[in-house]
A and B are shown apart, each in its own frame.
Chain A
Amino acid sequence: MQAKTSSSNYKQLEQKSRYTNIFLRWFLYFVLILFASYFIFPLYVMVVTSLKTMEEIRQGTLLTWPSGLNFDAWAVAWGGRGYGAGDTFLKPYFWNSLKMVIPAVFFSTFIGAMTGYVLTKWRFKGDSWVFLFLLFGCFIPFQAILLPMARTLGALGISNSIIGLVLVHTVYGIPFTTLFFRNYYVSIPTELVKAARIDGAGFFKIFFKILLPISAPIIVVTVIWQFTQIWNDFLFGSTFSFGEAAPIQVALNNMVLSSTSVKEYNVDMASAIIAGIPTLIVYVLAGKYFIRGLTSGAVKG
């Protein structure tokens, strides 16, 4: 008798907790989807606005679906309207950014890999201090170096040029790339290197034959991190370049701010998407590595 009541009680309890569970699940999904819409909302608005005519924009709301796939605004954003002065469009600046990003990513990644290799596999007294010395460069506010950098670029004769920006981005990328490679190589057993040294392999041979072949994941993480950082940079771009040598973020900002008689929001949005698309593609294709860069760049200081 006793046992029976308690078991039916238990059943009741189980029933009740099942209902609360179902309710909680719904609540969970509700909140998650609510936030997802907050995050997706600006992207949605950007895309639909870029496909509308100005007339449609004035008549509808932010959320109104465009009447058709109208890529006119995209064409204007990318290639301009075809009249001379004052016609800013993104195409030349997009190539500027590419010409700046590719060498800067390459040099900073290469230097970071070599530095990380020395700091973990050819350790010497005080090497952790050297690491800390380099690491601090990750954190300085760049405002503290803008003035002397501007003067240095002037003295070298490369202010307002893509070469100048490549130099700036290479230098200030080194602390991050070093951090990535150092933290990756530190987890690779040093015995491998020691054995190779006994076999007579030299400094570079060990790097190229042993470490480089197993470095693919960290190279991907580093390249993505550097690519995103440099492509999205505005502070250096806007301080050290203007006019024709400007990277795309600076051009985008100038386009949006330039006060023509009528504001063309569809062109603005198309421009913003064009400036954002390369990094978005990288993120969608290699999100795993992107997140790894973000969290290891941050967590492991």
Chain B
Amino acid sequence: MFKWLEKNLPKIVLAPAVGLISWFVYGFVLWTLYISFTNSKILPKYELWGVGQYVKLWASRKWLISVDNLLVFTALFLIFCIVIGIILAIFLDQKIRAEGVLRTIYLYPMALSFIVTGTAWKWILNPSLGIQKMFIDWGFENFTFNWLVDREMAIYTIVIAGVWQSAGFVMALFLAGLRSVEDEIVKAAKIDGAGLFTVYWKILIPMMRPVFFTSFVILVHISIKSYDLIVALTQGGPGISTTMPALFMTQAAFHKSQVGLSAASAMMMFMAVAAVIIPYLYSELRRENAS
């Protein structure tokens, strides 16, 4: 008995983690998947109903707006975060004075919650006393900036706040990537007569492919899950113009008693994340095995 215990001790110690994750991650996802095939309303029902919830989901105007917003948000969020992140990383890599201070400033939003960020930006962007008033008081009397209350433009305020929060993170990833390149490579290129611009454009940036890939995955992941920021900034409004899948899911589940429908929307989000993450994990694992 004691021998057996000693021999299997490592596996026994592993058991809590594996058990908890099996139950709370895999078990729960399967439960949600099952419920998405039932006609559950306020409470879960367990008789199967087929793909009705998915049909309902994709016929729902609100869901379609959510998906549309998600695509717009993700595209802009990705582009701005990556472009700003690369520019800042390359510029900071030029033996800048006070690099530490600047880096700290670029990255501190990552330490704040999206609720704090959203609260701050909501105040800055509010039309009556925020940026709009600032410019009017400065003498630009016809200046208007009311995106926050404009159905067409409100989604872009979420982009502004989201980029503000996450661009520094991309900067940190690229800076770490650039710093890990051997000095020899850059020196050799310079001896061959390449200018600084060519060194970056032709050599260093192409070498950053894994960093691009990582940033892409992380940012898409953040944007699919984005919930807090929208709650704090617009609550999905004006109307439902800035609603997103994560918001749709919680509202259907906890406010509208559409448990089946919310499970279906959660599974759509799950599949979207899986489509991005599985290739990523696969390639990371292959790289690790190769090295």
Contacts and interface: CB of A to CB of B under 8 A. Distances in A.
Interface stretch (B46-54, B181-189, B198-206, B263-271): B263-271
A72 B31 CA distance: 50
Contacts, number: 255
Contacts of A115: 13-14, 17
B111 A282 contact: yes
Contact of B250 (A61, A119, A146): A146
Is the interface on chain B under 10, 10 to 19, 20 to 34, or 35 or more residues? 35 or more
Interface stretch (B22-30, B57-65, B71-79, B149-157): B22-30
Contacts of B147: none
Interface string B245-270: 11001100110000100110111011
A241 to B, nearest CB: 12
Contact of B284 (A172, A294, A301): A301
A165 interface: no
Which of A114, A273, A298: most chain B CB closer than 10 A?
A298
A239 B250 contact: yes
Interface string A248-259: 010011001100
A279 interface: yes
Interface in B1-52: 6, 9-11, 13-14, 16-18, 20-21, 24-25, 27-29, 31-32, 35, 44
Interface residues of A, number: 92
Interface in B271-291: 273, 277, 280-281, 284-285
A107 to B, nearest CB: 10
Contacts of A43: 108, 120
A129 B215 CA distance: 25
A232 B32 contact: no
Given A133-B18, A143-B266, A39 B13 contact: no
A32 interface: yes
Given A149-B24, A253-B231, A280 B281 contact: no
Contacts of B138: 61
A134 B18 contact: yes
A119 to B, nearest CB: 7
Which of A111, A143, A253: most chain B CB closer than 10 A?
A143
Contacts of B109: 39
B105 A146 contact: no
B227 A234 contact: yes
Contacts of A132: 281, 285
Contacts of B6: 202-203
Interface string B122-150: 11100001110110011000000000000
B116 A114 contact: no
Contacts of B117: 42
B84 A118 contact: no
B21 A146 contact: no
Given A62-B124, A133-B18, A272 B119 contact: yes
A84 to B, nearest CB: 25
A28 B221 CA distance: 32
Given A114-B13, A139-B221, A62 B29 contact: no
B32 A147 contact: yes
B281 A135 contact: yes
A135 B225 CA distance: 18
A4 interface: no
B124 A42 contact: yes
B115 interface: yes
A63 B173 contact: no
Which of B35, B91, B211: most chain A CB closer than 10 A?
B91
Contact of B120 (A135, A203, A272): A272
Contacts of B284: 300-301
Given A137-B25, A202-B6, 18 more contacts: A28-B96, A32-B88, A39-B106, A111-B16, A114-B14, A114-B17, A136-B277, A139-B273, A141-B270, A203-B13, A234-B228, A252-B119, A253-B119, A269-B120, A280-B108, A290-B110, A294-B172, A301-B217
Interface of A: 28-29, 31-32, 35-36, 38-43, 45-46, 49, 57-58, 61-63, 111-112, 114-115, 117-119, 122, 124, 128, 130, 132-137, 139-151, 171-172, 174-175, 178, 202-203, 228, 231-235, 238-239, 249, 252-253, 256-257, 265, 268-269, 271-273, 275-276, 279-280, 282-284, 287, 290-291, 294-295, 298-301
Interface of B: 6, 9-11, 13-14, 16-18, 20-21, 24-25, 27-29, 31-32, 35, 44, 84, 87-88, 91-92, 94, 96, 102, 104-117, 119-124, 129-131, 133-134, 137-138, 164, 168-169, 172-173, 176, 211, 214, 217-218, 221, 224-225, 227-228, 231-232, 235, 245-246, 249-250, 253-254, 259, 262-263, 265-267, 269-270, 273, 277, 280-281, 284-285
30 contacts: A28-B91, A31-B91, A32-B102, A36-B102, A42-B124, A45-B123, A45-B124, A62-B129, A62-B134, A117-B13, A130-B18, A136-B25, A140-B273, A141-B224, A149-B28, A178-B17, A202-B9, A203-B6, A249-B115, A253-B231, A276-B113, A280-B108, A280-B111, A280-B112, A283-B111, A284-B104, A290-B111, A294-B172, A298-B173, A299-B211
